C-alpha cells in the first residue's frame, strides 16, 4: 500500500493546491505538479561551472579536468548514481555481414558478451559502413527503443527477444515482425535516414536499450516487471547484488550510457571506422543516455542529445514543465534515491543543475536539439547550454553564439563546438535533427 503523508502547501512556482508526499517504488517523493506559467518560475541561482565547491577558480585546462571530476562526483552521488565499472572482458563476435542499401553499405551484426564464458548479459549491435566513403570513416552511435529490426527493412535482422517497450504493433511487451522497418516510415515522428547518413560518409551503429536495462512503466501491475527490481536486470547482473541502504546505486540511465561506451569499444575494433571521430546521439530518455555517455567517457568526440526532457538538459531550478517530482514518481529507476530530496523546492535546495553536467562534455563538441513542448522546456535547455558555455570559452573552443533564444529552425545559436537548436512538430528524431547533427559533426571533424 502506498504511504500518503500530508506535507503542507506546495511551494512557490507550483499550483497553489495542497501537496503530499507519496512513497513511489523505493523512495518518498514530494508531489509537485508541472508548472506551465512562466510568471511562477521562482528566482534561482546557478552555480558557476568554473568555480570549485571550495571557492577556487578554474583557470587552466588542468584545473578544468579536476573540476570536471568534482562535478561528475556530485551527479553520481546526488542524481544519476555511481558510474558502472568497466567489464572484466569484452567479447565481440561477428554474426553476419552483407552488402545492403543497393551496395552503398556493408551491414554487420555483432554479439557482445562481458564474461569469458559468454554467460550472462549479451548485447546485439548492428553496424552499417558506407562503401564509397574514404576510410576510415566517422561513426554515429545510438540506442534504439524496440530492436534493431525496426531500423530498416531487412529480413536477416532478428526480431528483438525478451522484454520490449510496448508499442502499437507489438504484442504487449514483446516485439513482433509487424514493426520491421518501422523507422523507415517517412510519416513517422522518428526516422532513421540510413541512406542519407551513408551518403554523408558516416558509419552508424545501434543496439536496443531493452537488452541493457528494461524500462517498465511506473504503473506496471505485474510485480515481476515493475521498475524495482525488474529494471535492475540485464547488464545489472554484472554488478552484483544492490545495496538497498545506498542512495547512490547505479541507475538505468547510467547503464544505458555505459552500453554506449561499450559500443564505442566495438567501433575501436572495426578497422574501417575512425573511432576518434565518434558522434553519440539519442532521443528522449535515450538522449539523456547519450549525454551520460559523453559526460563520463571522454572518447566521444561529439554529443548530440535530442529532446531529452527534464533530468537531461533543461534546468531543474527553473521549475517549468517536467520536474524532479514527476521524474522520481514516473521513472524511479532512472535516478538514484538521493535525487528525490530535491523534489519540493530545487531552486532553494539543489547545489547543482544540468548546465554543470553539460559542461562535463567540454572541450569536446555538444549540440543540443529540442522541440516545442512545454513539458520539455526548450527555453530551459537553451539557458542550460548558455550557462555551460564559459567552459568551452576558457578551453579555447567555440562557445555558443551570444544570441537570444532562437525561433524554430533558427540555427543562429549553433557554434563550432557548442550549440542549441529547436524545431516544431512532434517528439522524435526526424530529418531536420539528423541534418543538423551531421552538419555540426562535419564542422567539428573538418569534413
Q: Tell me if 312 is assigned to some domain.
A: no
250 belongs to a structural domain: yes
232 within a domain of the structure (yes/no): yes
Task: List pLDDT tens digits, range 1-51.
Answer: 232 222 222 233 333 334 689 998 899 999 999 999 999 999 999 999 999
Residue 122 included in any domain: yes
Has residue 100 got a pLDDT over 90?
yes
Tally of domains in the chain: 1
Query: pLDDT by residue (tens digit) across 173-216?
Result: 999 999 999 999 999 999 999 999 999 999 999 999 999 999 99
Residue 284, in any domain of the structure: no
Residue 210 domain flag: yes
pLDDT of 168? 87
Q: What is the pLDDT of residues 274-292, one digit of tens each?
A: 999 999 999 999 999 999 9
Domain contains 121? yes
Proportion of the chain above pLDDT 90, given as a percent: 94
CA distance 123 to 229: 20
Q: Is 400 among the domain residues?
A: no
* Averaged pLDDT for residues 230-246: 97
216: domain range?
A: 81-274+428-434
Beta bridge partners of 8: 19
For residues 80 and 360, what is the distance between their CA atoms, to the nearest angstrom? 14
How big is the CA angle at 266 (ends 144 and 366), to the nearest 5 degrees?
Answer: 60
Query: What global pTM score does this model have?
Result: 0.95
The pLDDT of residue 1 is 25
Bond from prior residue into 240 cis (ω within 30 degrees of 0): no
What does the pLDDT look like over 328-364, one tens digit per residue? 999 999 999 999 999 999 999 999 999 999 999 999 9
Amino acid at each position: 500500500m502506498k504511504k500518503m503523508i500530508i506535507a503542507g502547501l506546495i511551494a512557490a512556482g507550483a499550483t497553489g493546491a495542497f501537496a503530499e508526499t507519496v512513497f513511489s517504488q523505493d523512495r518518498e517523493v514530494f508531489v509537485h505538479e508541472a508548472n506551465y506559467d512562466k510568471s511562477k518560475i521562482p528566482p534561482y541561482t546557478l552555480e558557476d561551472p568554473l568555480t570549485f565547491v571550495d571557492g577556487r577558480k578554474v583557470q587552466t585546462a588542468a584545473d578544468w579536468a579536476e573540476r570536471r571530476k568534482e562535478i561528475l562526483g556530485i551527479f553520481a552521488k546526488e542524481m544519476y548514481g555511481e558510474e558502472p565499472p568497466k567489464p572484466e572482458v569484452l567479447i565481440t563476435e561477428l554474426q553476419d555481414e552483407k552488402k545492403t542499401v543497393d551496395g552503398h553499405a556493408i551491414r554487420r551484426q555483432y554479439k557482445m558478451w562481458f564474461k569469458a564464458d559468454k554467460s550472462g548479459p549479451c548485447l546485439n549491435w548492428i553496424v552499417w559502413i558506407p562503401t564509397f566513403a574514404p576510410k576510415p570513416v566517422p561513426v554515429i552511435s545510438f540506442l534504439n527503443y524496440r530492436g534493431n529490426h525496426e531500423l530498416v527493412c531487412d529480413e536477416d535482422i532478428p526480431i528483438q527477444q525478451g522484454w520490449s517497450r510496448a508499442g502499437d504493433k507489438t504484442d504487449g511487451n514483446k516485439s513482433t515482425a509487424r514493426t520491421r522497418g518501422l523507422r523507415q516510415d517517412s510519416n513517422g515522428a522518428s526516422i532513421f535516414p540510413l541512406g542519407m547518413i551513408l551518403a554523408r560518409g558516416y558509419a552508424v551503429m545501434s543496439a536496443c536499450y531493452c537488452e541493457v536495462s528494461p524500462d517498465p512503466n511506473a504503473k506496471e501491475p505485474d510485480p515481476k516487471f515493475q521498475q524495482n527490481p525488474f529494471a535492475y536486470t540485464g547488464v545489472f547482473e554484472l554488478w552484483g547484488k544492490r545495496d538497498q541502504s545506498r542512495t547512490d546505486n547505479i541507475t538505468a540511465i547510467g547503464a544505458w550510457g555505459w552500453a554506449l561506451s561499450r559500443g564505442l569499444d566495438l567501433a575501436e575494433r572495426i578497422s574501417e571506422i575512425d573511432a576518434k571521430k565518434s558522434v553519440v546521439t539519442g532521443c528522449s530518455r535515450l538522449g539523456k543516455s547519450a549525454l551520460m555517455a559523453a559526460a563520463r567517457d571522454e572518447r566521444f568526440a561529439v554529443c548530440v542529445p535530442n529532446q531529452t526532457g527534464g533530468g537531461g538538459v533543461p534546468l531543474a531550478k527553473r521549475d517549468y514543465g517536467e520536474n524532479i517530482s514527476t521524474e522520481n514518481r514516473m521513472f524511479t529507476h532512472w535516478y538514484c534515491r538521493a535525487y528525490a530530496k530535491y523534489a519540493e523546492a530545487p531552486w532553494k535546495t539543489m547545489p547543482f543543475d544540468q548546465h554543470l553536467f553539460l559542461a562535463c562534455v567540454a572541450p569536446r563538441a555538444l549540440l543540443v536539439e529540442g522541440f516545442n513542448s512545454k513539458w520539455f522546456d526548450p527555453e530551459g535547455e537553451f539557458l542550460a547550454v548558455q550557462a555551460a558555455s564559459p567552459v568551452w570559452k576558457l578551453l579555447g573552443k567555440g562557445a555558443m553564439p551570444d544570441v537570444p533564444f532562437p525561433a524554430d529552425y533558427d540555427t543562429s545559436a549553433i557554434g563550432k563546438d557548442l550549440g542549441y537548436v529547436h524545431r516544431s512538430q512532434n517528439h522524435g528524431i526526424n530529418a531536420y535533427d539528423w541534418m543538423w547533427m551531421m552538419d555540426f559533426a562535419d564542422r567539428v571533424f573538418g569534413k
